[in-house]
Chain A
């Protein structure tokens, strides 16, 4: 029998402890983040918590902390973005899986994945230079910095997610269903709309929710193009989503001031929305 080396044993125990410690760290990070956000939001919540929902303007200088315009801007710009990228994405995915030549489809999917890696600042820059101008010219506005510009920029950013997930969902529909449908005398289009798409619905929905989550949490791509006026939003006017407000105003807010805590509350709300979407995704799966 081999004699157990004591130093080896100590090393083993130490390393095992390290493994456990690191795992605990990784796992607890999320709780830690949530806790800290709550800690920094509490002062605002205690004093002005309710006001947040009922005051209709966001003007911290004047002491008004109504989050409704910010929340509505976030929702409007994200929903519009998903509407655009969802339609284009699902149709593209259908084309790629059902009609396109395999090689071309593979190339396009690779391009889509590269699109996914582009940093959000770059999207923002592109949006500022190109999309904003396009919106301005097309709709004859004084400035193109609008909810619409934000939505289009976010749509381009979220396209890869939707295309990728939709492609997977559509390809995983068993070919037996397609054969059965065609054998009954359905055209390819009928087969796609009545069998393939309904079958892949759950997968596609997952993609849409993921994309929505990204859109609503996105800061850089949207802050450069959306105009940043804290008002009740409409598509061709500027708006200010929650993310932009936090980014732009933190510089002005003194640490420890009510404004500072209000911004943290905004962050907390954003986090809660993202977590809720995460939960929803798990439920669907």
Chain B
């Protein structure tokens, strides 16, 4: 039994150290372009997804009544979670890259961001909803008793109060966005390390670069990319956990 558990820990540490070791050796192979690409992607995706998610969460938490209808709504949203990432890639390709080419510039960071925005919707909605529901009803009552409307209460009292929870969700989503590769290969990623000209152009990303470099045999590049990506995601994850615990 102990062997199994140690296998578990072993795998984590071996992955960690393996990439750390390899990455540090090849630290000079780090390129800045994919890092910029990934950061732009994260920012754009969240810009699109966060408002939609928070507003949906407000609706679910404050306005909907428990019952079959709401359960149906939640199920629809949660189902987005079980869609494989490559299917998101296909959808992004068919809809954002091809169908909406005139709006997104075709193969571009924007297409990628739109695709990933849908992907992170369920996580952001759930975390935001939890954060909103966690606001004690005493605050709402106090606000309403002072003559504020429901909407004013939500935007002036509930949202600021649930801010930390929502932030936790956003940081969690950041980690996920940075790690996604398949959807980007179909919508936004290029192989060469060229700085993206605008969001209407494609770009390299850390995640996609790792795939291309590994499969093309550019091992040193791959190690460096893996190191940066892994560190980024782990740091975001640890921040999320710390924020969660403080709540």
CA A240 – CA B237 in complex, angstroms?
32
- Contact across chains for A91 and B4 when beta carbons are under 8 A apart: yes
Q: Per-position contact with B for A85-96: 1 when CB-CB < 8 Å, else 0?
A: 001110110111
Q: Which of B80-88, B161-169, B192-200 is near enough to bind chain A?
A: B80-88
Are A30 and B80 within 8 A (Cβ)?
yes
- A129 located at the interface, meaning its Cβ lies under 8 Å from any Cβ of chain B in the complex: yes
Asked if A53 is at the interface of the complex by the 8 Å CB criterion, the answer is no
Contact residues in B for A275 (Cβ distance below 8 Å): 79, 82
Name the one of B84, B215, B226, B229 contacting A270, with C-beta atoms under 8 angstroms. B84
| Interface assignment of B42: CB less than 8 Å from any CB of chain A | no
**Cross-chain contact of A220 among B91, B149, B181 (Cβ < 8 A):** B181
Taking the closest CB of chain B, its distance from the CB of A253, in whole angstroms, is 11
CB closest chain-B residue, reference A40? B94
A278 contacts B79, C-beta separation under 8 Å: yes
Q: Is A224 an interface residue (CB 8 A)?
A: yes
Contact assessment for B59 and A19 in the assembled complex, using a CB-CB cutoff below 8 Å: yes
Chain A binding surface SS class: helix
Residue tally, chain A, CB below 8 Å to B: 78
Q: Is the CB of B52 within 8 A of A119?
A: no
**B15's closest neighbor in chain A, by CB?**
A126
CB pair A115–B214 under 8 Å, yes or no, is no
A25's nearest neighbour on chain B, judged by CB, is B52
**B238 and A114 contact, CB distance less than 8 A:** yes
List, in ascending order, chain B residues with CB within 8 A of A282's CB: 75
Q: A159 with B56: in contact, given A30-B83, A119-B179, A275-B82 (CB under 8 Å)?
A: no
Q: Is B12's CB under 8 angstroms from A128's CB?
A: no
Contact of B82 among A8, A163, A278 (CB under 8 A): A278
Chain A residues positioned under 8 Å from B29 (CB to CB): none
Q: Which chain A positions have C-beta within 8 A of B215?
A: 224
Please report the C-alpha to C-alpha distance between residue A218 and residue B140 in the assembled complex, in whole angstroms.
44
Determine if B130 is an interface residue (Cβ-Cβ < 8 Å): no
Comparing A10-18, A44-52, A57-65, A136-144, the segment that makes contact with chain B is A10-18
Query: Which single member of B121, B149, B182, B210 contacts A29 (CB below 8 Å)?
Result: B121
B239 smallest CB distance to A (angstroms): 11
Contacting B4 at CB < 8 Å: which of A30, A95, A263? A95
Inter-subunit contact B1/A99 (CB<8 Å):
yes
Contact of A88 among B7, B73, B76, B238 (CB under 8 A): B7
Q: How far is the CA of A100 from the CA of B4 in the complex (A)?
A: 13
Q: In the docked arrangement, what's the CA distance between A117 and B86, Å?
A: 18
Cβ of A2 and Cβ of B15 under 8 Å apart? no
Q: Does B11 contact A (CB under 8 A)?
A: yes
In the complex, the answer to whether A125 meets B52 with C-beta atoms within 8 Å is no
Question: Does the CB pair B182–A263 fall under 8 Å?
Answer: no
A115 in contact with B11 (CB, 8 Å)? yes
Q: Which of A209-253 contact B (CB under 8 A)?
A: 213, 216-220, 224, 243, 246-247, 250
| A and B contact pairs by CB, cutoff 8 A, 18 listed | A19-B56, A23-B59, A28-B76, A31-B76, A33-B87, A33-B91, A36-B91, A40-B90, A96-B5, A113-B241, A115-B11, A118-B233, A119-B229, A121-B207, A122-B226, A216-B84, A250-B90, A275-B82
Known contacts A108-B9, A111-B8, A119-B180; 15 additional CB pairs below 8 A are A19-B58, A27-B77, A29-B80, A92-B4, A92-B7, A110-B241, A111-B12, A118-B233, A125-B214, A126-B19, A163-B8, A217-B83, A220-B182, A224-B215, A278-B79
- Pick the 10 closest A-B CB pairs, nearest first: A119-B179, A217-B84, A22-B55, A91-B4, A95-B1, A117-B237, A267-B90, A92-B5, A23-B59, A219-B182
